[in-house]
Amino acid sequence: MTSTSALAEAGEGPRRVRELDEHLIRKIAAGEVIERPASVVKELIENSLDAGAKRVEVLVEGGGLRRIAVLDDGVGMSRADALLAIRRHTTSKIRSEQDLERIQTLGFRGEALASIVEISRTVITTRPWGEPQGTRLEIEGGVVKLVRAEGRGPGTTVDVRDLFFNTPARRKFLKSERTEFAHIARVLKRFALAYPEVHFRLVHNGRKVLESPPARELREVVAQLYGAELARSLLDVRAEAQGVKVYGLVAPPHQARSDRGEQHVFVNGRFVRDPAVQYAIAKAYEGFLKDKHPVVFLFLEVDPRRVDVNVHPQKAEVRFADPKLIQAEVKRAVAEALLGGKAVPELRAPRVASSAPKPPLALRSPASSAPQLDLKRELLERARAASSPSPAPAIPSDAGEEEAELHGETKKVPDRVLGQLHGTYILVQTPEGLELIDQHVAHERILFEKYWEQLSSGGVRRQRLLLPMTLEFPPDQAELLEAHLATLGEKLGIGLERFGGSTFLVREWPESFAEGLTEERARHALERVLHALEREEEPRLEELAKALAADLACEGAVVKNTPLTVEEMEHLVRELRRAKNPYRCPHGRPIIVQYPLSELERAFGRR
């Protein structure tokens, strides 16, 4: 190919294609590998594990921007190896193209450490087993400033400070300190799950956040990170066929979450995100879940020659030689665990949320036509008030219609509840014809508008729980929640208190939704909050409040196949008529279906 200088000499126009400076090339490469502080932690821990470490400690300051130090007790490096390791494409993991086809280590590309030292001020202290002293390297922006002997126990410490100090374009796109640290905690959590035999410890700004001592099995690690309740409920997965081994733990359906954040899939010890595997998990849970995602800790062991991990510099994606086989085996293994573990819904009494205990629901006498329903408290109280002689009912009675005729007024057919269809739809006679009202979405709209009105006015009424609820969250989520406790209480009406470690007490809940509050509903709402906080959406609070109000209203509304009394139906219709938008629920579903009288008359041949 003709060189650019030759083209210029030949007078073929100005030179527009140029070779990049080597220093700039290294910065660009570093940006592909190191996306945020959590990327540094991931790469350094992978190096520690590949070095045979049995203890890994991570010290973090300022969410990782000020400092990230990873200390291990692995094999360590000699001075020569340490100087070589900070150069690009240097590695002890592979030696030939054949090795690339059967990778069995976490690291192999020879880019991570070189990328880290390029965009930070880094000190590496390392000592190999059997050597009397170690080596200290001081590097700034990829340039070695100091090399000297230094004492240390066997292993390696990589101390990274001022990350992205020389790449401000990357630094300005990072999130808050709490959010960046939450990503770091999530990385530690995944390694603790994948390597239960290793002791992991995470400290942020001098405070221990996570510690996972060596454990005999995965369930022990889950108990340390998520709490004993979830660990006890998990179902064992174990299957092997056609060279694919699938094992781990999956949660029963009632432990499902609002997103896929707690789906942990590891291939040959490496955490991966693979749509094919996620699809297989979803298919295994088909029929068990709706609009929620299962909690899984799933491990796949595949012949390294049948899986390509060299897809992206961050090594979070893989490519299977036979993805259909992987999907089939994952689906089969998880489905067998669910069926074998008898993962059927549990009948559990809801926690009492009001200030005084309520008696259990009781069936009416045999002479009654339907069971008595204890509808949401605020609706019943208003219904009783509406049935007293003083206030005028929103839906006129037949007596009111007859009185109007006696006074010579124009006869107008009033709104009147005719009954209930299939325990789900309320039939209402209107001046224009007939309406069918979905009782669940109608109640959902009423609750949503009440809560949203309080949110908008800045005064959410809160209900103090008689018995506080105890909820366990993983360390990464616990840090985020603690950072926003005041906001949750003041702006959303959710009163939380950190009880210790990753445990929180729910002491207060929005009054509109406190009736019949369960731990599952509380967790689901807080997961919605966490999901938004992790992404730091703008405008975050308003959009979060709307989404939370819609979710709480949906879960708190009276469900289908619930018989209602005439009084309850009439009150529900009255409240719906007062709503600003009585036609759609917060999620967009229709509330009312109308059948005009003219259409009914035409159907019966009257027109």
Q: Given this model, what pLDDT does residue 245 score?
A: 96
- Nearest alpha carbon to residue 534 among 498, 483, 580: 483
- Nearest alpha carbon to residue 380 among 191, 571, 167, 98: 571
Q: Return d(Cα 451, Cα 448) in angstroms, integer.
A: 5
Asked whether residue 242 falls in the same domain as residue 389, the answer is no
Does residue 17 fall inside a structural domain?
Answer: no
- Nearest alpha carbon to residue 162 among 222, 117, 225: 117
Asked whether residue 142 falls in the same domain as residue 158, the answer is yes
Q: Given this model, what pLDDT does residue 102 score?
A: 54
Of the residues 197, 214, 231, the one at which a domain ends? 214
Q: Return d(Cα 516, Cα 497) in angstroms, integer.
A: 21
Asked whether residue 313 falls in the same domain as residue 455, the answer is no
Asked whether residue 228 falls in the same domain as residue 210, the answer is no
- Between 130-139, 283-292, 399-408, the lowest mean confidence (pLDDT) is in 399-408
Residue 489 CA to chain centroid, in angstroms? 21
Residue 353, pLDDT above cutoff 60 = no
β-partners of residue 140 are 121, 143
Asked whether residue 136 falls in the same domain as residue 240, the answer is no
pLDDT > 90: what percent of the chain?
Answer: 40
At 61, is the pLDDT very low, low, confident or very high (cuts 50, 70, 90)?
very high
> At residue 477, what are phi and psi to the nearest 5 degrees?
-75, -35
Provide the domain limits for residue 482: 370-607
Does residue 252 fall inside a structural domain?
Answer: yes
Number of H helices, E strands in the chain: 21, 22
Q: Given this model, what pLDDT does residue 403 score?
A: 41
β-partners of residue 425 are 421, 438
Residue 369, pLDDT above cutoff 60 = no
Distance between first and last Cα of the chain: 86
Asked whether residue 387 falls in the same domain as residue 427, the answer is yes
Q: Given this model, what pLDDT does residue 103 score?
A: 59
Q: Residue range 119-148: average pLDDT?
A: 95
391: left (phi over 0), alpha (psi -120 to 50) or beta: beta
Asked whether residue 387 falls in the same domain as residue 510, the answer is yes
Residue 10's alpha-carbon distances to 1, 2, 6, 15, in angstroms, are 14, 11, 6, 11
Q: Return d(Cα 468, Cα 499) in angstroms, integer.
A: 11
pLDDT in tens, 493-533: 889 998 877 889 999 988 877 777 888 888 888 887 887 77
Asked whether residue 105 falls in the same domain as residue 169, the answer is yes
The domain that holds 483 is classified in CATH as: 3.30.1540.20
Asked whether residue 574 falls in the same domain as residue 439, the answer is yes
Residue 449, pLDDT above cutoff 90 = no
Residue 1, pLDDT above cutoff 50 = no
Q: Residue range 554-583: average pLDDT?
A: 87
Q: Given this model, what pLDDT does residue 476 score?
A: 82
At 34, is the pLDDT very low, low, confident or very high (cuts 50, 70, 90)?
confident
Asked whether residue 95 falls in the same domain as residue 244, the answer is no
Does residue 361 fall inside a structural domain?
Answer: no
> At residue 305, what are phi and psi to the nearest 5 degrees?
-75, -10
> At residue 333, what are phi and psi to the nearest 5 degrees?
-65, -45
pLDDT in tens, 217-273: 999 999 999 888 899 999 999 999 999 999 999 999 888 888 888 999 999 999 998
Beta strand 495-500 pairing with 433-438: unpaired
Q: Return d(Cα 594, Cα 605) in angstroms, integer.
A: 19
Q: Return d(Cα 312, Cα 321) in angstroms, integer.
A: 17
Q: Which amino acid is at 177?
A: E
Residues 534, 526 contacting (CB under 8 angstroms): no
Residues 233, 252 contacting (CB under 8 angstroms): yes
CA angle, 176 then 177 then 178, to 5°: 90
Q: Given this model, what pLDDT does residue 407 score?
A: 42
> At residue 18, what are phi and psi to the nearest 5 degrees?
-130, 155
Q: Given this model, what pLDDT does residue 392 score?
A: 35
Average pLDDT of the chain is: 79
Asked whether residue 583 falls in the same domain as residue 606, the answer is yes
Label residues 171-194 b or e (16+ Cβ within 10 Å = b).
eeebbebbbbbbbbbbbbbbbbbb
The domain that holds 94 is classified in CATH as: 3.30.565.10
- Between 92-106, 282-296, 454-468, the lowest mean confidence (pLDDT) is in 92-106
Asked whether residue 571 falls in the same domain as residue 439, the answer is yes
In terms of DSSP H, where are the helices of 252-322? 275-284
User: Number of structural domains, the chain?
Assistant: 3
Residue 31, pLDDT above cutoff 70 = no
Residue 370, pLDDT above cutoff 50 = no
Q: Given this model, what pLDDT does residue 169 score?
A: 79
pLDDT > 70: what percent of the chain?
Answer: 76
Q: Given this model, what pLDDT does residue 589 score?
A: 82
The domain that holds 231 is classified in CATH as: 3.30.230.10
Q: Given this model, what pLDDT does residue 110 score?
A: 61
pLDDT in tens, 394-434: 444 433 443 444 344 434 556 899 999 998 999 999 888 89
pLDDT in tens, 377-387: 544 454 445 44
At 583, is the pLDDT very low, low, confident or very high (cuts 50, 70, 90)?
confident
Q: Residue range 341-368: average pLDDT?
A: 41
pLDDT in tens, 77-102: 999 999 998 887 666 554 554 544 55
At 195, is the pLDDT very low, low, confident or very high (cuts 50, 70, 90)?
very high
Does residue 8 fall inside a structural domain?
Answer: no
Q: Return d(Cα 425, Cα 244) in angstroms, integer.
A: 50
Q: Given this model, what pLDDT does residue 286 score?
A: 86
